[in-house]
Amino acid sequence: MGSCATLIAGDKKIELPIIIGTENEKAIDISKICKELGYITVDPGFANTGSCKSAITFMDGEKGILRYRGIPVEQLAENSTFVETAYLLINGTLPTETELKAFSSLLTEHSLLHEDMQIFYQNFPERSHPMGILSSMVNALNSFYPYLGESREERINITVTRLLSKVRTMAAMSYKISRGHKVEYSRPDLTYCSNFLHMMFTTPVRPYVENPDFVKALNVFWILHADHEQNCSTSTVRLVGSAKVNLYSAISAGICALWGPLHGGANQAVIEMLETINKNGGDVTPFVKRAKDKDDPFRLMGFGHRVYKTYDPRAKIIKSVCDRLLTATKKHDPLLDIAKKLEDVALSDPYFIDYNLYPNVDFYSGLVLRSLGIPTNMFPVMFAIGRLPGWIAQWKEGQEDPERALIRPCQIYLGPKQRRYVPIEEMDRQVAS
């Protein structure tokens, strides 16, 4: 037997197994506490809770490490494509050339969308947020594509490729319809990322011309977002999936979780914050001051992370992508100057140093998307497309876990003790007296 931790509660004592992960992460298995001691554990925000055992992604928040299936994200960003990385996350190993070709052609084949789905897009109110539209449409896939295959493996493969391919079409379609433009479908001669840019930006008067710098930047953006272990949206996908709902619905729930400004909505919030600073003359100091004021709910968006207590490794890469892209396109974005100024001021301020608040992936990613011509309200959608392989891999792992169970946390009840039901006439009398 391995080592144990001893827990004494009241007059009872229990030995709890210690679990050591591949990278020497230490955990205490508390799964038997409730049954044997009659106690539950309380951990608001789950900062001390390991919700599962996983072989997909490793993060070290102190050292700023991120690896997918053991491979450093820096190496993937440099050498891989989003499709290859998606294959790696979902299947556990890098594909051979034949496997990658087969996977890519399946993605092209499944990129079409049932024409009736376009009617839905046309009927969302004009100001609808693209994340709300995307989560509704992903959930609707189950109605439009009820056939999920015969075997379990076929079911998983078909749903996975449909999702990866159609989500990209859905995002571009939503943009085209919002502009009153004709919807474009993917071209078999283009890669996944290039096809997305084609579906977004080609018009009858200005056909899409591939720009390799844009395609590389988009590949890196999506690779960096592809997985991040048990974050809020991924935990949502696992939790909803544990009720045995179909994959489309579990992903739709994940999209809703990602939408929040503390999570995937932060990339949009960062650009809005930088625009406000710009409109106010470009001085970052009042915003840094506000972020430190505990009576002001304002936070520096794109700063801080639950796990990273150092520079987010994704932020380092995306910052250099942003610099490279603007140099290649010979464009100047005043918001980049403001972002760099903000970073310099914040990182030399004792508040940010003491709280370990460093730029996260969202701080520079919006600037990359802006350079690609993506509208600001679509930034969280871009995050969602990138996170899809991670959600799928984590959902699959959850479904295949021999220890799987319905995810159902407990609570400490602090409400009133049992009391009598009061008929409404009596309530009226009580309030009147």
Interface with ligand CMC (CB under 6 A), residue from 357, 372, 374, 393: 357
Smallest distance from ligand CMC to CB 394, Å: 14
71-72 vs 12-20, strand pairing mode: unpaired
Query: Does the protein bind ligand CMC through residue 313 (CB under 6 A)?
Result: no
Total residues interacting with ligand CMC, rule: CB under 6 A: 20
Pick the piece of the chain touching ligand CMC (CB under 6 A) from 13-21, 113-121, 259-267, 395-403: 259-267
Contact flag: residue 390 with ligand CMC (CB under 6 A): no
Q: Which is nearer to ligand CMC, 194 or 231 (CB)?
A: 231
Q: Which stretch binds ligand CMC (CB under 6 A): 180-188, 276-284, 302-310, 392-400?
A: 302-310
Tokens (6 digits) for 228: 């991040």
162/314 with CB nearer ligand CMC: 314
C-beta of residue 66 within 8 angstroms of C-beta of residue 72: yes
Only segment of 139-147, 240-248, 359-367, 371-379 that touches ligand CMC (CB under 6 A): 359-367
Judged by beta carbon, residue 110 or residue 263, the one nearer ligand CMC is 263
CA 176/CA 135 separation, integer angstroms: 17
Asked if residue 339 binds ligand CMC (CB under 6 A), the reply is no
Cα 114 from chain centroid (whole Å): 26
Task: Give 164 or 291: the residue with its C-beta nearer to ligand CMC.
Answer: 291
* Matching residue, tokens 């084609």: 198
Q: Answer yes or no whether residue 300 interacts with ligand CMC by CB under 6 A.
A: yes
Angle ∠(254,172,206) on CA atoms, nearest 5: 160
Torsion sign (Cα): 104, 106, 112, 117: negative
Separation of alpha carbons 73 and 189, rounded Å? 28
Q: For ligand CMC, which residue of 64, 130, 241, 302 counts as binding (CB under 6 A)?
A: 302
Q: Which residue of the chain is nearest ligand CMC when measured via CB?
A: 304
Query: Whole-angstrom Cα distance, residue 104 to residue 186?
Result: 12
Amino acid at 51: S
When the beta carbons of 92 and 261 are compared against ligand CMC, the nearer one is 261
Candidate segments 70-78, 82-90, 121-129, 261-269, binder of ligand CMC by CB under 6 A: 261-269
Stretch binding ligand CMC (CB under 6 A), from 23-31, 99-107, 145-153, 304-312 = 304-312
As a three-state string, the secondary structure of 321-376 is HHHHHHHHCCCCCHHHHHHHHHHHHHHCCHHHHHCCCCECHHHHHHHHHHHHCCCH
Residue 380 in the binding site for ligand CMC (CB under 6 A) = no
Near ligand CMC by CB under 6 A: residue from 4, 34, 262, 353: 262
Q: Scanning residues 18 to 37, which ones bind ligand CMC (CB under 6 A)? A: none
State the catalytic residue, choosing from 110, 225, 305, 312: 305
Question: Quick check: 231 binds ligand CMC (CB under 6 A)?
Answer: yes
Q: Annotated catalytic residue: which of 198, 225, 228, 362?
A: 362
Decide if 198 is catalytic: no
Sign of the C-alpha dihedral, residues 105, 106, 109, 113? negative
Q: How many CA atoms lie within 13 A of 323 on its CB side?
A: 8
299 sits near ligand CMC (criterion: CB under 6 A): yes
Is 175 a binding residue for ligand CMC by CB under 6 A? The answer is no
User: How many CB atoms within 10 Å of residue 351?
Assistant: 14
| 305 is known as an active-site residue | yes
- What are the two backbone dihedrals, phi and then psi, of residue 359, each rounded to the nearest 5 degrees? -60, 140
Q: What is the CA radius of gyration of the chain?
A: 24
> What's the CA gap between 63 and 229, in Å, rounded?
16
Are 235 and 51 contacting, i.e. CB atoms less than 8 angstroms apart? yes
Which residues on neighbouring strands pair with residue 15, listed in sequence order? 6
Terminal-to-terminal C-alpha distance of the chain = 67
Which H or E run contains 16? strand 12-20
The yes or no reply on residue 266 touching ligand CMC (CB under 6 A) is yes
Does residue 387 bind ligand CMC (CB under 6 A)? no
Is 305 a residue that touches ligand CMC (CB under 6 A)? yes
Annotated active-site positions, please?
A: 305, 362
Binding site for ligand CMC (CB under 6 A): 228, 231, 262-264, 266, 291, 299-306, 355, 357, 360-362
